[in-house]
Amino acid sequence: MAATWVFVEVLNASPRNAARIRRAALFAALSMAAAWVLGGYWYVHYYSPEKAMILKGPWPFAHNLFMETKEHLFFATAILAFLLPIACREELYANAVARKLVLSVSAMVVITGLALEGAGAVIDHGVKVALLRGPGKGN
Amino acid sequence: MGFSLAAALTILLNTALAWAKDSYAPLNSFMKALTGHHWTTHGLVDLVVFFGLGLVFMKSPWIEKINPARVVPILIGSVVAASLGLGLWYVFF
């Protein structure tokens, strides 16, 4: 959401909103850092039992494809989010190339972030169907 | 511009490291031994590479020779390639 905020602000970049753009970009990066630490803590400490459940259930691809992709694609989203405040140090209202860069980076944070959310929903459902249908009952 | 190129390279390296971990179990075990979980080590490697390369590129004189307009396509290309690389890897392997 913070990356969407940056995107919209940069579409209307001017000297008046330059400081606000930098604050929004920093907020996006800090939010991503918080997601990394908090989500990472949960993943490292609590995901293993759910992984075992998913793999024994009717939707093993929820882990084998979606979680495996998600846990690694997350780093790309995070690196892009950390790039945002650095790219926003330029005077975006006067620099078309820098403006295009920030628009592209913020859009990619949003798109890959939504893909991660979608993958999370599939993983969550993988656990639910495993609990509902029990292990080893197939599709 | 230096950090944008660093981001593109880090994102590609991230996918390559995921492939390497899956293909070579001793690497996965080594990364797990370093921090307690391979994912934690993977993330730290990405962070060190991103900020390290960014600082190096920022101070490199050759970075000025790159056309700034090419940075956006390079970055978008790296994200698309890295994402497809991850998705297809876990579909087929």
Residues contacting residue B62 through CB under 8 Å, at least 6 positions apart: none
User: How many angstroms separate the CA of residue B47 from the nearest CA in chain A?
Assistant: 8
Residue among A36, A79, A83 with most chain B CBs within 10 A, to mutate: A79
Left, alpha or beta for A95 (phi > 0: left; psi -120 to 50: alpha)?
A: beta
pLDDT per residue as tens digits for the range B44-85: 999 999 999 999 998 888 888 888 889 999 999 999 999 999
Q: Answer yes or no: do B86 and A43 touch at CB < 8 A.
A: no
Distances (CA, A) of A92 to A21, A41, A110, B14: 9, 36, 20, 29
Considering only the beta carbons, identify the residue of A65, A87, A108 that sits closest to B79.
A108
Residues B2, B90: Cα–Cα separation, whole Å: 31
Cβ atoms within 10 Å, residue A37: 10
pLDDT at A139: 45
Number of domains in chain B: 1
Check residue B19 and give its pLDDT.
Answer: 96
Q: Containing domain of residue B88, as a range?
A: 2-92
Q: Which residues contact A134 (CB under 8 A, 6 or more apart)?
A: A57
CB pairs under 8 A between A and B: 79
In angstroms, how far is CA A116 from the centroid of its own chain? 5
pLDDT for res A90: 87
What pLDDT was estimated at residue A138? 47
B52 contacts chain A (CB < 8 A): no
Q: Which residues of chain A have pLDDT under 70?
A: 134-139
Task: Output the CA–CA distances (angstroms, integers) from residue A42 to A28, A53, B32, B78, in the order listed.
Answer: 21, 16, 17, 29
A91 Cβ contact partners less than 8 Å away, ≥ 6 residues apart:
A18, A98
- pTM metric for this prediction: 0.90
Tokens of A102: 């920030």
Q: Does B3 touch chain A (CB under 8 A)?
A: yes
Mean pLDDT of chain B: 93
pLDDT in the model for residue B66: 84
pLDDT computed for residue B89 by the predictor: 94
pLDDT digits (tens, 9 = 90+) for A84-120: 999 998 888 889 999 999 999 999 999 999 999 999 9
Instruction: Judge: B11–A80 Cβ closer than 8 Å, yes or no.
Output: yes
